[in-house]
Structure 1
């Protein structure tokens, strides 16, 4: 774990894809930009959206397709604003919030963002578990428990870089899209009736409620944090022309990716309309029921299998992007970094525990209600992501020539108002129905207090940037008018520590350490004894390995003394990384030189991450020799 002053968003992959390289064809240059929006798009087709699409299609046929199109256009505008923030200012949404709002407001915004991510992950857990159950017959309790294993998948993907992760997500999206395309071909929808569905109409109040649910489930708050960070994985030319090109290509990337998400959501609704609505089954909203009805109504065993496979793929793709969003939120608001696998494990456990409790206490039939509850939690957070985003991209002080145009600003505020109203209405409706059934007065009071606090925070989020004299720090793309590098005097290291593992790599470590020193520099040779008894008893062990390590250390010291190098040796015990840190601090070394083990993936768990740990806990320069 590390508290940082400021770091680039998703620093492990920041600017890792170079778009400034001259390609022979313009297509390859465009392709270098493409990718971030596809990671974002999976949030628009995750399992949380399926219930509302199924409900709309089964009850009203093709009538509500226009709602999907409208919500997709809203999402396109908001995601393009998120990408603009990341490209122009070099900040993600969480970082920009931290630089603008006071600390108490930021803390509340952070808590709400974490709740939204946990709610998103809950929907993904349930979706994957239901998909596994539908495909294999495994009890839902076991399916939910198995979803913890995707922590290892994310760890593996992050080791291979952002482009491999994007390729993996695109492959999963392709599986979802292909599955529904085949199901649509089997269902043979009435195309003229599908076309009529793009004409706006709301048959009754229930249709309005379902429409609100579709919009609320489609526009995901964590995606706005995610997109503003993912676009920064591309290294671009920090000129007006380079930024303008990046904005243009990223808009097309977003448009293509979100249209694919629209196709998936529309396919679910059209499938429900052509299979369930036309057969008179107008109350289908449960994933289990939809899966069960597909085979008898379509007369094909392939359709329910494809439905389950698509559900698993949608859940798995969403879970990767949800973890990235969690990392962005934690680092941006708190400037706190923890290992990605630990972050993923915590997020997944927060989602799994309530799901297991509901299944254990209330039974599997209550899972549908838990899925709806996760979407209500998402609705609470939406306004707190959209409103600051509009403020930031409208600020000419930090966006310069790339501030949004007045007509875009009006459209953004209109969309924000509509979405906040619809989501507040949905939450109010859910809270009202709960209060009417609840018998405990103090629970009702608590709900009202939370509601008032929610509205107060929303008002502060809207008004504060208008009335505050505080101005955000300058854009990351804008350079200071006067730049000085100082005298650039070379540092003088009086005492250099070397961490040795008594392997063939020691020669490189010693050579590099000597290159950093001067004739009067003192060197401290460190080796950590790793025998079982030494790990337990420490220096009191004095076992055979300890004796041999001391002999090896003395040999090194003798050879260095023969070259006129002043050096001393220190053995450490027990925890390797902690021992190195302790000895370096005791010896008051000015520089630490150590070898990188080169482990990746699961080997870091087996052998430890010495370099990572050490560099976080010593306050001197660290030179790592690979």
Structure 2
């Protein structure tokens, strides 16, 4: 294996940057503060499943030279089934990312507010700073710039959270027990579903397929792509573990987000802990603020058959709308609750649907040929789809309830 295969810095890093957003940080904080090390196994499980599905998505992009939306349009022959699938994709990813973008930007702004506040009356200018940084990276329209920017931010985020976890000096035997002996404590199922749901993100499958076909062009690149996916997402999983471990030191304390975690750690571990957590939250917010509009643009252009190059006006127009809406909502503190609920229902429906489609596509001779899934891989993937289906059903039920 050549040295290039071990180089961290490809589409996998962008995927890791996407799922370690403010939502993941918050859920992992609640998991640690509420249940200590007991739910570390859920982080490991969700990370392994994410690697499995993201590798399939990447392989599809490299071998077929098509994005996932185009493959759905080509391979699903029944017009009603195809239309239903594309509608769920559009509703979940485009509308969903539009609704969640305010949370991404607000999360990054929370981290930045620890260092300086730009609040003026009822309007907060900090989200404008986050939005401007995200806009600058996306507007350049170059994959290399996007890749390097997110690699730097993921590195900063990883360093911040991992150093904080080390500061808390966790009990190693208890930590290992939580990682490898699965238990679901009383009232812990919702947090388990939250950990899995914020890690296995539907839009990342579309994003990964599109970015992989841009990054790599031949079957011989599959090995490098697999290492990129595995190492990057494993690093993302390590960050999630670090957040749970850090929050575990404050078990029993009421925490709402990572900023509260930083404030709670400060009296014991010094003001350094507060700033490290805030830097991590800032990086998590801005990486998701970049990748969510990007995924929405890829899906929209794919559904309508538009040019999906990062410099095309229709592609840019899509992510600009998503980003601007997020900045405005975050700045004025407006929470589009009904839209978010709709997005959660659509997301809950999309998870099992796109999981089935992905496994189906990766098992077809006519799509991947000799690079299709082996029977064992198909079986494992099918079991994971059932898990995802249960997650989707539970998510919809929770929203309705």
Instruction: Quickly name the TM-score band, shorter chain normalised.
Output: 0.7 to 0.9
Does the alignment pair 1:147 with 2:130?
Answer: yes
For 1:605-620, what aligned pairs fall within 5 Å after superposition?
Answer: none
Deviates more, 1:97-106 or 1:68-77: 97-106
- Would you say the 8 A contact 1:124–1:318 is kept in 2? yes
TM-score, structure 2 length as denominator? 0.88
Which residue, 377, 391, 394 being the options, matches 2:363?
394
SS at match of 2:351: helix
Q: Give the equivalent residue in structure 2 for 1:294.
A: 265
Distance 1:374 1:290, change over 3 A: farther
Aligned twin of 1:384: 353
Distance 1:388 1:286, change over 3 A: same
**How far 1:150 moved relative to its partner?**
3.0
CA displacement at 1:120 relative to structure 2: 4.2
- What is the DSSP-based 3-state SS (H/G/I as helix, E as strand, rest coil) of the residue aligned with 1:197? helix
In the alignment, is the contact (CA less than 8 A) between 1:72 and 1:262 conserved in 2? yes
Distance 1:116-1:188 versus aligned 2 partners, 3 A rule = same
Residue matched to 2:160: 179
Offset of residue 182 of structure 1? 2.2
For residues 425-476 of structure 1, what are the alpha-carbon distances to aligned partners after superposition, in whole Å with 9 as ceiling and x for unaligned?
13202311xxxxxxxxxxxxxxxxxxxxxxxxxxxxxxxxxxxxxxxxxxxx
The CA distance in 2 between the partners of 1:398 and 1:265, in whole Å, is 34
Unmatched 5+ residue regions in structure 1? Answer: 1-24, 238-242, 433-626
Please say if residues 92 and 347 of structure 2, whose CA atoms lie closer than 8 Å, have aligned partners that are also in contact.
no
Instruction: Show the counterpart of 2:2.
Output: 26
Q: Is residue 128 of structure 1 aligned with residue 98 of structure 2?
A: no
Q: C-alpha deviations, 1:559-582, integer Å up to 9, x for none?
A: xxxxxxxxxxxxxxxxxxxxxxxx
Alpha carbons 1:122, 1:374 under 8 Å: kept: no
**Contact kept? 1:113, 1:381, Cα under 8 Å:** no
Are positions 1:189 and 2:170 aligned together?
A: yes
Pair 1:306 & 2:299 matched = no
Structure 2 stretches lacking a partner, 5+ long: none
Cα–Cα, structure 1 residues 271 and 202, in superposed 2: closer, same or farther, change >3 Å? same
After superposition, the Cα gap between the structure-2 partners of 1:291 and 1:138, relative to the gap in structure 1 and judged at 3 Å, is farther
- Closer, same or farther: CA 151–273 of 1 in aligned 2, 3 Å: closer
Aligned to 1:430: 399
TM-score normalised over the length of structure 1 = 0.58
Which is higher, the Rg of structure 1 or of structure 2? 1
- In structure 2, do the counterparts of structure 1 residues 356 and 374 end up closer, same or farther at CA, with 3 Å as the change threshold? farther
Superposition CA RMSD, Å: 2.7
| Residues 33 and 68 (structure 1), Cα distance of their counterparts in 2 relative to 1, 3 Å cut | closer
Number of aligned residue pairs: give it: 388
Match of 1:169 in 2: 150
Residues 383 and 416 in structure 1, CA contact (< 8 A), matched pair in contact too: yes
Question: CA 1:376–1:178 in structure 2 vs 1: closer, same or farther (change >3 Å)?
Answer: farther
Q: What is the match of residue 417 of structure 1?
A: 386
1:250 to 209, 212, 225: 225
CA distance in 2, matches of 1:186, 1:371: 36
C-alpha distance after superposition, 1:394-415 (max 9, x if no partner): 1112221121111111111111
Written as runs of structure 1 = structure 2, the 5 A alignment for 1:561-576 is none
Counterpart position of 2:91? 111
How far apart in 1 are the matches of 2:47 and 2:382? 16
| Partner residue, 1:233 | 214
Greater share of strand: 1
